[in-house]
Structures are given as structure tokens and as C-alpha cells.
């Protein structure tokens, strides 16, 4: 059992790797680094230089929105992102097989969750193809990211079903955590809208004049900051109330640490004109906070 639990946790961590890889692709404007899918310029492996391009490479460059000539860095960033997603699929095939062998005769709900995990990942790969086919349509990018986030909930549910610890009975804390989850999800969705506007503004300015990007975002950015404050206050209150439950104190302290780091990353992004290196960190921390808060809520019973 311990080996299976460790493997499920490893797969969960790999989902976060997929999320951060996708964010790196987006912040480096590498989404169309490979303009075709599943190949890259008609090849299984991206060309290492212009000399390795196929004779008809121009038909691929015509799909680009940033590179007028072949950019091997963008190609390899996107290609590595695809490899990481493919590796997750392989890990999940193993997970499904292991789950059915171990639990099919006793706990079939875990088997179906594992299958859903695999099917969801295949759907994510298909959605990634649509993103490429539609030249990075912003709505599909957002759905792609949210899909990955909800995928991470599945191994958390599996781990919860295998947890022998009894839930904590605290109705007020359970309601408070549920509210915090809803507000945080709203915050993430609003954040994706802000990010979509940044993408459109930066593209219109040829990815220059970074210091003017935030000033061109509409009032949704102010809403984003207000909801961020509300989320932080809710998590702080959850931490305070968790002090009365010894079994929840470490989990609540982790939530507090992550929400403070997330807020700090958001502050740095706004203060330093959205530096590319902080964007994946901010997204990763937000994702970890949402998944951790979900896992925390599973430990509570009204």
C-alpha cells in the first residue's frame, strides 16, 4: 500500500510539473514554437538549427504569431512541454494498471478515479492540440490550464480514500474552508482573464513596452487584487481556527505559508511590470494553494 500511495503522490507532483511547464511556454511566448502537432516542423524532434528545417518550412512559419524566422529556443521549450505531458500519460497508464490490480475486487471507486485521471489527461493533450491549431486562442489556453488544475484534484481524492485518519468534526471550519475554496477558484478564474488581457496587450505591442501593460488592463485587475486580499484573510482565519485541532495545525500552517508566498509573488508581478520569471511561480503557488485547500477540506466533516 505504501508504494502505491508514494507513486500516486509522485504522479500528483508531476501534474504540477505539467502546469509549470505550460506556464513557462506561455511566458516565453513559445506556444507556437512548434506550429504543428504532434510533430514539430514536420519532424518527430525539433530542428536544431535553420539548416535542419524541411524544404517547406515556410508553411509552418506562416502560422506563427511572433517568430518570423525559426526560433530553436521556442521550439524546444514547447517540445519539452509536450514531452512532460506525454510522460504524465505514461505514468497514468501504469497507475491505472496498478490500481485495477490492487483495488478492482475491493474498492472500485478508486479504479474509476484512476481511469478518469487518464481520460482527463488525454483530453488535456487533445485540448493542447486545439490550442496549436487555433494559434493560441486565449479561451482555449485558459480551459487548458483550468483542466490541468482540476486533474490534480483526482489523485488528492484517491489519497483521501486511502487515508485511515478520521475526519475532524468542525462545522464552522468546514463551511469557512468551502467558502475559501469558492473564492479562490473565482480568484484563479479572474486571474486567467487578467492574463488573457496581458497576452493580447503584449502581442499588440510586439512584446515590448512592458511597463505599460498593466495600465491598459480594465477594472478586472482591481477586482483580482480585492479578491486576493479576501482569499488571504480567509486562509489566515482558517489557520487561526485550526490551532484548536492538533491534527490540522501543520496543514493549516502550510496553507498560510503558501498564501503569503502567492501574495508576495503577485505583489512582485505588479511592482516589477510582470517579469516573465515570476509568472510561472505565481501560477504554481496559486495551483498548490487550491489543491492544498481542497485536500484540507476533505479532512473536515460538518
- Higher-pLDDT residue of 176 and 69 is 176
- Same domain for 63 and 4, yes or no, is yes
pTM: 0.87
- Same domain for 153 and 210, yes or no, is no
- Are 287 and 149 in contact, with CB atoms under 8 Å apart? yes
- Are 127 and 143 in contact, with CB atoms under 8 Å apart? yes
- Are 41 and 53 in contact, with CB atoms under 8 Å apart? yes
Q: Largest Cα–Cα distance in the chain?
A: 69
Residue 141 pLDDT: 62
Confidence of residue 32 (pLDDT cuts 50, 70, 90): confident
- Same domain for 64 and 213, yes or no, is no
- Same domain for 154 and 184, yes or no, is no
Distance of CA 90 to the CA centre of its chain: 19
Residue 207 has pLDDT above 80, yes or no: no
The torsion region of residue 288 among left (phi > 0), alpha (psi -120 to 50) and beta comes to alpha
Number of domains, the chain: 2
Out of 86-100, 130-144, 148-162, 218-232, least confident range: 130-144
- Same domain for 188 and 283, yes or no, is yes
235-292 pLDDT, tens digit per residue, is 999 999 999 999 999 999 999 999 999 999 999 988 888 887 888 899 899 999 999 9
Residue 139 pLDDT: 55
- Are 259 and 285 in contact, with CB atoms under 8 Å apart? no
Out of 106-110, 125-129, 130-134, 230-234, least confident range: 130-134
Out of 112-121, 161-170, 190-199, 234-243, least confident range: 190-199
Domain that holds residue 130: 1-164
- Same domain for 157 and 172, yes or no, is no
- Same domain for 160 and 277, yes or no, is no
- Same domain for 147 and 288, yes or no, is no
Q: Quickly tell me which residue has 489557520 as its cell.
A: 239
Percent of the chain with pLDDT over 90: 44
Amino acid at each position: 500500500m505504501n508504494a502505491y500511495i508514494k507513486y500516486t503522490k509522485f504522479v500528483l507532483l508531476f501534474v504540477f510539473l505539467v502546469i509549470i511547464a505550460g506556464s513557462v511556454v506561455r511566458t516565453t511566448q513559445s506556444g507556437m514554437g512548434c506550429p504543428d502537432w504532434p510533430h514539430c516542423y514536420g519532424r518527430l524532434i525539433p530542428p536544431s538549427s535553420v539548416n535542419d528545417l524541411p524544404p517547406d518550412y515556410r508553411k509552418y512559419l506562416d502560422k506563427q504569431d511572433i517568430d518570423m524566422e525559426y526560433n530553436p529556443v521556442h521550439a524546444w521549450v514547447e517540445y519539452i512541454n509536450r514531452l512532460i505531458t506525454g510522460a504524465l500519460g505514461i505514468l497514468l497508464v501504469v497507475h491505472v494498471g496498478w490500481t485495477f490490480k490492487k483495488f478492482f475486487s475491493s474498492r472500485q471507486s478508486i479504479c474509476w478515479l484512476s481511469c478518469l485521471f487518464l481520460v482527463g489527461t488525454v483530453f488535456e493533450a487533445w485540448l493542447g492540440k486545439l490550442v496549436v491549431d487555433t494559434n493560441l486562442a486565449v479561451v482555449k489556453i485558459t480551459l487548458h490550464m483550468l483542466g490541468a488544475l482540476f486533474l490534480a484534484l483526482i489523485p488528492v481524492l484517491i489519497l483521501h480514500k486511502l487515508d485511515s485518519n478520521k475526519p475532524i468534526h468542525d462545522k464552522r471550519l468546514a463551511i469557512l474552508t468551502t467558502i475559501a475554496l469558492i473564492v479562490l477558484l473565482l480568484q484563479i478564474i479572474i486571474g486567467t482573464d487578467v492574463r488573457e488581457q496581458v497576452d493580447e496587450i503584449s502581442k499588440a505591442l510586439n512584446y515590448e513596452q512592458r511597463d505599460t501593460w498593466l495600465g491598459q488592463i480594465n477594472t478586472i485587475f482591481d477586482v483580482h487584487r480585492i479578491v486576493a486580499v479576501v482569499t488571504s484573510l480567509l486562509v489566515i482565519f482558517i489557520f487561526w481556527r485550526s490551532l484548536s485541532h492538533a491534527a490540522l495545525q501543520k496543514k493549516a500552517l502550510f496553507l498560510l505559508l503558501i498564501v503569503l508566498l502567492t501574495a508576495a509573488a503577485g505583489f512582485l508581478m505588479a511592482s516589477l511590470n510582470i517579469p516573465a520569471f515570476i509568472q510561472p511561480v505565481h501560477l504554481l503557488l496559486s495551483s498548490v494553494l487550491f489543491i492544498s485547500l481542497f485536500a484540507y477540506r476533505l479532512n473536515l466533516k460538518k
